[in-house]
Amino acid sequence: MMKKRLSRPVTILTFALVLLFNLSSFAQAIPTEAEAISAGEALFNGNCKSCHRVKQKLVGPALAGVEDRAPSVGWIIDWVRNPAKVIASGDAYGVKIYEEYNKSQMTAFTSYTDEQILNILAYVKAEASKVDAPAPGTTTADAAGGGSGVPAGYLNAILIGLVVILVLLLIVLGLIINALKRYLDQKDLSDEDKEIVHSKYTISTMVKSPGFIFLVIFLVTAVTVKNVIDGLYTIGIQQNYQPKQPIAFSHKIHAGEYEIECRYCHTGALKGKQANIPSANICMNCHSQIREGTNTGTTEISKIYAAIGYDAATGSYTGKQKPIEWVRIHNLPDLAYFNHAQHNNVGGIECQTCHGPIEEMDVVKQYSLLTMGWCIDCHRKTDVNTKGNQYYDKLLELHNSKKALKVEDIGGLECAKCHY
């Protein structure tokens, strides 16, 4: 009788524990929805991509198959939030990774929710399942950089051919003139006509003619005036300004080759007016382990260590810091207000729209004019990002407009928008 009384609570408790475990496992299942994968891609590109790739080992391990290698999905969530805590607990797998990657401490993302971490895993899993294949229509010549353009050798041949054709045309014209002269000599012409036919028009005669002198004076004056006006318009414009920086940081390597998201370093681009110059602490997220550069060896990375007071030999901080005196490149006048968050976060404008192909620059330069006319022209041509915003849908409905809204249509050309 006592056994029956005890067996019922034990059965219920066992059932409850099994149900709780199953619910917990279900709650931590990696999602497969497109929305989750898209959200995970944004998080991965913004925070993980500087150290990880899906199929390639970088600062940290390749993440393809991480859900199978790790003890559990719950373990991954704990690791992402606080890897130091997992290592300190003596967890065998955590310690193994820590030792394998030279005791490199992964950044803790304590603010990430379970859903966000699962979304990142969803993106990694989706990318890992994709088969790497060359782009359709890509040939070996295209991959080598030939592209579909006309080779330089052909262009030179075309130019030489055009010059030869022009010379032949001049010879033909000379022959035609001589033939016409011989034909006219056989005719009964007046003395005045004969003088015209046999007149010798030399270069000296042409240069001394009033018409030629007037033409030269006019052209010289026009070119001079144009250059003066163009020079006045370029005052304060620093397009193509490309100063030497105290540390030879290459965007071509970081943003191009390693595809590090711009906003990983320029943290203010989505949040405020300034995109922010990254602190040396952000550099140290990778360069505490990567101590030799692709182009400059240890020379430039050692400047980061000197600035932040880091002793690479002992792996410790000395406390002796020295600021990096970066040279500003993009410098709008104080009378103009520009907000990065308004353009990047709200407008959905890519960095390259204003900064050019930054991922191809070893040394950064000012790519765009950044003049008032340049900004106004952009506001006249750029469509407003109305996706998911019912306010703009209602605005179009009230104005009976089927055309896409331009920035100028919502006050983008008002003086007070940029000049307070």
pLDDT tens by residue, 207-253: 777 877 888 899 899 989 988 998 888 888 899 999 999 999 999 99
Other C-beta atoms lying within 10 Å of the C-beta of residue 376: 15
Q: Is 253 part of any domain?
A: no
Please name the residues in contact with 24: beta carbons below 8 A apart, sequence gap of 6 or more.
Answer: 74
Is the pLDDT at 162 greater than 80? The verdict is: yes
- Provide the domain count of the chain: 3
Q: Which of 108, 128, 148 is the last residue of a domain?
A: 128
Question: 124 and 72 in one domain?
Answer: yes
User: Which pLDDT value is given to residue 156?
Assistant: 75
Token couple for 131? 């088969």
Question: 56 and 1 in one domain?
Answer: no
* Measured distance CA(358)–CA(103) in Å, rounded: 33
> Helix (H, G, I), strand (E, B), or coil: what is residue 339?
coil
Is the pLDDT at 146 greater than 80? The verdict is: no
Question: 37 and 116 in one domain?
Answer: yes
Q: Which of 195, 216, 235 is the last residue of a domain?
A: 235
Could you say which DSSP state residue 173 is in? H
Please name the residues in contact with 184: beta carbons below 8 A apart, sequence gap of 6 or more.
Answer: 193, 197
Domain that holds residue 119: 31-128
CATH number at residue 75: 1.10.760.10
For 258-275, how does the pLDDT look when each residue is reduced to its tens digit (9 = 90+)? 889 999 999 999 899 999
Burial class (CB in 10 A: 0-12, 13-18, 19+), 261: middle
For 266-301, how does the pLDDT look when each residue is reduced to its tens digit (9 = 90+)? 999 989 999 999 999 999 988 988 888 888 889 999
Q: Is 103 part of any domain?
A: yes
Could you say which DSSP state residue 28 is in? T
For 314-326, how does the pLDDT look when each residue is reduced to its tens digit (9 = 90+)? 889 999 999 999 9
Element (DSSP H or E) covering residue 390: helix 390-398
User: Which pLDDT value is given to residue 12?
Assistant: 52
* Measured distance CA(42)–CA(48) in Å, rounded: 10
Q: Is 13 part of any domain?
A: yes
Q: Is 398 part of any domain?
A: no
Q: Is 226 part of any domain?
A: yes
Contact 368, 242 (CB under 8 A): no
* Measured distance CA(238)–CA(367) in Å, rounded: 9
Question: 124 and 102 in one domain?
Answer: yes
> Helix (H, G, I), strand (E, B), or coil: what is residue 225?
helix
Token couple for 41? 């891609």
Question: 36 and 8 in one domain?
Answer: no
User: Which pLDDT value is given to residue 46?
Assistant: 81
Question: 23 and 35 in one domain?
Answer: no
Question: 45 and 121 in one domain?
Answer: yes
Is the pLDDT at 131 greater than 70? The verdict is: yes
Q: Which amino acid would we find at residue 247?
A: I
Q: Which amino acid would we find at residue 266?
A: H
pTM exceeds cut of 0.75:
no
> Helix (H, G, I), strand (E, B), or coil: what is residue 406?
strand
> Helix (H, G, I), strand (E, B), or coil: what is residue 383?
strand
Q: Is 222 part of any domain?
A: yes
Question: 91 and 56 in one domain?
Answer: yes
* Measured distance CA(156)–CA(20) in Å, rounded: 76
The DSSP string of 278-331 is PPHHHHHHHHTT--SBTTTBTHHHHHHHHHHTEETTTTEE-S------PPP---
* Measured distance CA(359)–CA(253) in Å, rounded: 8
Token couple for 135? 């782009």
* Measured distance CA(131)–CA(148) in Å, rounded: 26
* Residues facing 297 on adjacent strands: 293
Question: 49 and 8 in one domain?
Answer: no
Rounded to the nearest integer, the mean pLDDT of the chain is 83
Q: Which of 214, 235, 256 is the last residue of a domain?
A: 235
* Measured distance CA(280)–CA(306) in Å, rounded: 10
Q: Is 317 part of any domain?
A: no
Question: 40 and 14 in one domain?
Answer: no
Question: 116 and 52 in one domain?
Answer: yes
Query: In this structure, what are the phi and psi dihedrals at residue 316, rounded to the nearest 5 degrees?
Result: -130, 165
Question: 17 and 56 in one domain?
Answer: no
